[in-house]
Amino acid sequence: MTKTTLRLLTAVSVIAASSSMAFAKDPMVGGAAMYPTKNIIENAVNSKDHTTLVAAVKAAGLVSTLEGKGPFTVFAPTNEAFDKLPKGTVKTLLEPANKDKLTKILTCHVVAADAMSSAIEKMIKDDGGEHDVKTVGGCILKAKESKGKITLTDEAGGVAHVTIADVKQSNGVIHVIDKVLLPKM
């Protein structure tokens, strides 16, 4: 192989490597790719880890809101997070008679901003280690950082950990969490 051919192959390899980085695979949540060109609902319905959340959003009548312009930050509890609630809680919340209570709980997972984890971490640092996050449901979550991970303490004292951060959406961002956040009841 000539030096010119070798240089050309090296240049092509560098360009190809750069291109594959620029077109990195979309993040996977619940076995499904999350596309930044889709809105929160369009992506969430494809995650097998968020079927309970999607059912709850539908029962609360929040689909059109979360398909809207935003921006929204959604702290999205997994099915396992809902399973940690006392037995029968999810079934009871999904009943039409409990729509207001369900709506309150769900809107305590939504912030009217596009808050990537780096912005949340900066707010935590700027506030001396804990930042109050006001949700659209009127709840105050206490955001902290521990060992490079963001935690959220709800008004009932429960602590959720962000397990997958910065899942970009066309109308905001999703952070997957391992606990359902509860308002003061």
Q: In angstroms, rounded to a whole number, what is the distance separating the alpha carbons of residues 45 and 33?
A: 11
- 84 falls within a domain: yes
pLDDT at 1 over 90: no
Instruction: Tell me if 3 is assigned to some domain.
Output: no
In a domain, 15, yes or no: no
* Of 18-22, 82-86, 90-94, 111-115, the least confident: 18-22
Q: Provide the pLDDT for residue 25.
A: 63
Residue 155 belongs to a domain: yes
Locus of tokens 């808050």: 115
CATH number reported for the structural domain that contains residue 76 in this entry: 2.30.180.10
Q: Into how many domains does the chain fold?
A: 1
**Tens-place pLDDT, residues 46-58:** 899 999 999 999 9
pLDDT given at position 104 = 96
By residue range, what is the domain housing residue 95? Answer: 26-177
Do residues 72 and 41 touch, judged by C-beta distance below 8 A? no
